[in-house]
Structure 1
Amino acid sequence: MDPAAIPTLPRGVRLHRDRVRDQWVLLAPERAVTLDAVAHAILSEVDGTHSLAEITETLAARYAAPPEQIAADAAAFLQALHARRFLDLSP
């Protein structure tokens, strides 16, 4: 995935806190994905204005983690969401 790509949640897709199960989910029409802490941290930075590189920098600083590892994990996760049409990518 291009580090300059800007991920966005398409219309109808949103992060939601499931209070009954006490967990975060990604909701889309007739679909839902349960998120772990890492997935939620990545998606909470997706706002349609920040690139993958900027998201990586933010997460690396917040969690004191190696930027290369964050970039690889975030890119793989976002690419998988894009393949399932839960995410749009702008060049």
Structure 2
Amino acid sequence: MWNHNYYVYITTNPNKTVLYVGVTNDIRVRLLQHKQNSATQKSFTGKYYCYNLIYYEHFTHIEHAIEREKEIKKWRREKKNALIESTNPNWIFLNNEVED
């Protein structure tokens, strides 16, 4: 049986005023891509400097990860804040937890 890794994640900008919810199979690479696109108009994360990881969940099935991403994206900001604070009350940037 193959072991698959998928992540639903939330990033924010340095001032913690903008949130981005995404899904990926390689969170390290995806965070690097967000950082490299910062200050560009190519993407939402680039335009708003959303490259600081503040929350993530791990899944072994892509369908479950996509379903969860869609669920979180529909939430109001207050509910997303509560989710983040359930595991990261001080909104510490977690990039180093998942990067080599």
If the TM-score is normalised by the length of the shorter chain, which range does it land in? Answer: under 0.3
Bigger relative CO (Cα 8 Å, ≥ 6 apart): 1
TM-score (norm 2): 0.23
